[in-house]
């Protein structure tokens, strides 16, 4: 293997003739040190026959470090300047929208480069760029792998490999697909993933890259090399013992994990997110995952500590709130779950803070068995008035309906938010009773805004609630699912007990947030509601 500075600098010069297409639109694309190192190593190391040593460039790095723009620039190089005739350059991701991120970045760069634009034929409808000189095409592909047989890629760019739903697309685009090319290129860019079972293709390739890095660092025992691969990993170590001794709030660690810190992402942004991470398990998880590139073992995390709940308790609320404006949240069950109704009172005349009342129901039949299973005393809670029991083995919706109607006569109930699951028949009955209802879907987009708003009010001390042991239990049980956009939602199937009262509470907040004089159904279906 020999190193050719000429080959390496040729690619560097090509990229630095381009201009940014994102927040730095119009500015010259000057490669950062880590980007320049990767480009030079990948394109500069040659075999004795003059072909590139490496076929696979693996870059695992936290979000907002400029990997997508680097991928777009490399895609343009492979399309216009690599020298391949009738090449096929593919941008692959879990879905077409994500794959289009790299394509759109490349298109923006292309539009700012008259020389390249002159020889390009662009088809935005099919997300395709054709170099009319080399006849090489750059095209977007999504994860429907069954349609990808027969392609002969000269370059494959995988964005966010960790998000691939399965290994099909990876296998089809890498196994033997480049055999018809002299020196195919596979560029893999990803952040750490959320893979509790460690069974995804993202984790498999991460482990492959880690073994190669360890081997080349001299740790040959238990590790292996692959001469076709050039891997870079920026982030927290995989070893739990190593992670345990690292301070995630150490800014030196931030710089090690984020080589573009201070350039494409500002340190003040991380400082603000770190403050949130100190106060919320969900926020800490996101910080570790998205800012420190740590592979997370589970998607479910705790929400708020019980100390936050306990500080917000207050006696005598029911009498104080009579006649005041409020919004309801209803989470229905059929058998084993609780059914919960919550009233949420916003600040108004005579009320300086948010206030909350709870109505949980459970079936009389099987109550003792559920107490043993859930390790709580439902019978004692019923006697204390913290839970209401209904006859039979299914929650009697007649009881629920009657209690909601009674509450509407006691308080100024504007709307009741409902979970679409199991609620349609009761919703119709409530509408006939003169009670306005709105469906709040238990999706990430439906639950994240009100859940974050509820957290904000509780943490700031601007919300109080009545004393209720069942509600406290549900609150402490609540676990969250999160996504890469920092959205959260409660997860019943991953929480450590019943959370129905908390879910109804979140639904009530979502209902209150929507009541701004507009059509509520239209608002929530738009997907753009919330904070």
Position with higher pLDDT, 241 vs 95: 95
Does residue 403 contact residue 387 with C-beta atoms inside 8 Å?
no
Does residue 318 contact residue 466 with C-beta atoms inside 8 Å?
yes
Q: Is 230 left (phi over 0), alpha (psi -120 to 50) or beta?
A: beta
Whole-number percent of the chain with pLDDT over 90: 59
> Is residue 199's pLDDT more than 50?
yes
| Average pLDDT over every residue of 132-160 | 83
Least confident segment among 142-151, 221-230, 454-463, 490-499: 142-151
CA 239 to chain centre: 23
pLDDT, the chain, mean:
87
Does residue 190 contact residue 60 with C-beta atoms inside 8 Å?
yes
3-state helix, strand, coil in the chain (%, to 5): 40, 20, 40
Separation CA 94–CA 478 (nearest Å): 30
pLDDT score, position 423: 63
Name which of 324, 380, 332 is nearest 352 in CA terms.
324
3-state secondary structure of 340: strand
Separation CA 204–CA 209 (nearest Å): 9
> Is residue 337's pLDDT more than 70?
no
Does residue 20 contact residue 86 with C-beta atoms inside 8 Å?
no
Q: Which residues contact 427 (CB under 8 A, 6 or more apart)?
A: 418, 437, 439
Taken in order of first residue, the domains within the chain and their CATH numbers are 2-233 (3.40.50.300), 247-297 (no CATH), 306-525 (3.30.420.240)
DSSP 8-state class, residue 29: -
| Average pLDDT over every residue of 438-456 | 91
Q: Which residues contact 306 (CB under 8 A, 6 or more apart)?
A: 472, 475, 476
Pairing assessment for the beta strands 300-302 and 479-482 based on DSSP bridges = antiparallel
Least confident segment among 300-309, 335-344, 364-373, 401-410: 300-309
| Average pLDDT over every residue of 72-85 | 95
Q: How large is the angle between the packed helices 5-16 and 67-80, nearest 10 degrees?
A: 110
Q: Which residues contact 302 (CB under 8 A, 6 or more apart)?
A: 281, 282, 478, 479, 480
Q: Quick one: pLDDT band at residue 222, thresholds 50, 70, 90?
A: confident
pLDDT score, position 433: 92
Tell me whether residue 151 is exposed, middle or buried, using C-beta atoms within 10 angstroms of its C-beta: 0 to 12, 13 to 18, 19 or more.
Answer: middle
Tell me the DSSP string of 431-491. HHTT--EEE---SHHHHHHHHHHHHHHHHTT-EEE---HHHHHHHHH-EEEE-TTS-EEE-
Does residue 482 contact residue 285 with C-beta atoms inside 8 Å?
yes
3-state secondary structure of 275: helix
Highest mean pLDDT among 94-103, 348-357, 438-447 belongs to 348-357
3-state secondary structure of 131: strand
Tell me the DSSP string of 32-97. PHHHHHHHHHHHHEE-TTSSBS-SEEEEE--TTSSHHHHHHHHHHHHHHTS--TT-EEEEE-SSHH
Tell me the DSSP string of 168-187. HHHHHHHSSTTTTSSS-EEE
pLDDT score, position 444: 87
| Average pLDDT over every residue of 265-279 | 92
| Average pLDDT over every residue of 52-74 | 95
Q: How many residues does the chain have?
A: 531
Separation CA 64–CA 167 (nearest Å): 25
One-letter-per-residue 3-state SS of 235-260 = CCCCCHHHHHCCCCCCHHHHHHHCCC
Separation CA 403–CA 489 (nearest Å): 28
Q: Quick one: pLDDT band at residue 122, thresholds 50, 70, 90?
A: very high
Tens-place pLDDT, residues 394-441: 778 888 899 999 999 999 999 999 987 656 778 889 999 999 999 898
Q: Which residues contact 178 (CB under 8 A, 6 or more apart)?
A: 55, 152, 153, 154, 156, 184, 186
Instruction: For the full predicted model, state whether its pTM sits above 0.75.
Output: no
Separation CA 100–CA 115 (nearest Å): 23
């Amino acid at each position: 293997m020999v190193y050719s500075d000429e080959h390496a600098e040729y690619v560097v010069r090509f990229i630095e003739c381009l201009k940014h297409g994102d927040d730095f639109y119009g500015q010259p694309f000057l490669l950062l040190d880590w980007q320049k190192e990767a480009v030079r190593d990948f394109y500069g190391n040659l075999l004795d026959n003059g072909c590139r040593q490496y076929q696979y460039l693996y870059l695992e790095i936290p979000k907002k470090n400029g990997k997508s723009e680097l991928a777009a620039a490399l895609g343009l190089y492979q399309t216009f300047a690599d020298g391949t005739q009738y090449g096929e350059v593919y941008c692959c991701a879990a879905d077409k929208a994500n794959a289009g991120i790299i394509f759109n970045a490349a298109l923006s760069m292309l539009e700012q480069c008259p020389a390249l634009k002159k020889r390009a034929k662009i088809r935005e409808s099919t997300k395709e760029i054709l170099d009319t000189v080399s006849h090489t095409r750059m095209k977007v592909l999504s994860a429907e792998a069954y349609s990808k047989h027969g392609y002969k890629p000269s370059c494959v760019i995988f964005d966010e490999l960790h998000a691939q739903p399965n290994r099909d697309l990876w296998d089809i685009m890498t196994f033997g697909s480049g055999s018809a090319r002299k020196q195919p290129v596979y560029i893999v860019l990803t952040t750490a993933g959320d893979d509790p079972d460690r069974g995804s293709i993202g984790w498999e390739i991460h482990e492959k890259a880690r073994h190669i890095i360890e081997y080349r660092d001299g740790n040959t025992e238990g590790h292996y090399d692959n001469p076709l691969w050039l891997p870079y990993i920026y982030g927290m170590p995989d070893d739990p013992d190593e992670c345990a001794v690292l301070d995630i709030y150490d800014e030196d660690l931030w710089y090690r994990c984020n080589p573009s810190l201070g350039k494409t992402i500002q340190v003040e942004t991380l400082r603000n997110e770190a403050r949130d991470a100190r106060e919320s398990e969900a926020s800490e998880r996101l910080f570790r995952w998205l800012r420190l590139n740590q592979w997370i073992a589970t998607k479910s995390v705790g929400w708020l500590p019980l100390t936050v709940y306990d500080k917000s308790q207050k006696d005598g609320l029911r009498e104080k709130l009579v006649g005041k404006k409020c919004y309801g949240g209803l989470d229905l069950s059929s058998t084993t779950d609780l059914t919960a109704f919550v009233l949420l009172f916003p600040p108004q005349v005579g009320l300086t803070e948010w206030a909350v009342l709870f109505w949980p129901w459970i079936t009389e039949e099987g109550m003792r068995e559920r107490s043993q299973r859930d390790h709580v005393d439902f019978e004692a809670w019923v006697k204390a008035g913290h839970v209401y029991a209904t006859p039979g083995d299914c929650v009697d919706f007649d009881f629920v309906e009657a209690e909601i109607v009674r509450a509407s006569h006691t308080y100024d109930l504007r709307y009741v938010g409902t979970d679409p699951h199991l609620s349609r028949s009761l919703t119709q009955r409530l509408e006939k009773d003169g009670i306005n209802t709105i469906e709040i879907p238990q999706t990430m987009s439906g639950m994240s805004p009100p859940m974050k708003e509820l957290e904000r009010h509780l943490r700031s001390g601007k919300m109080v609630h009545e004393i209720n042991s069942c509600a406290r239990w549900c609150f402490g049980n609540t676990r969250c699912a999160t996504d890469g956009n920092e959205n959260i939602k409660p997860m019943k199937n991953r929480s450590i007990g019943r959370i129905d009262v908390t879910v109804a509470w979140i639904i009530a907040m979502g209902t209150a947030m929507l009541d701004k004089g507009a059509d509520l159904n239209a608002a929530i279906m738009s997907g753009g509601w919330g904070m």
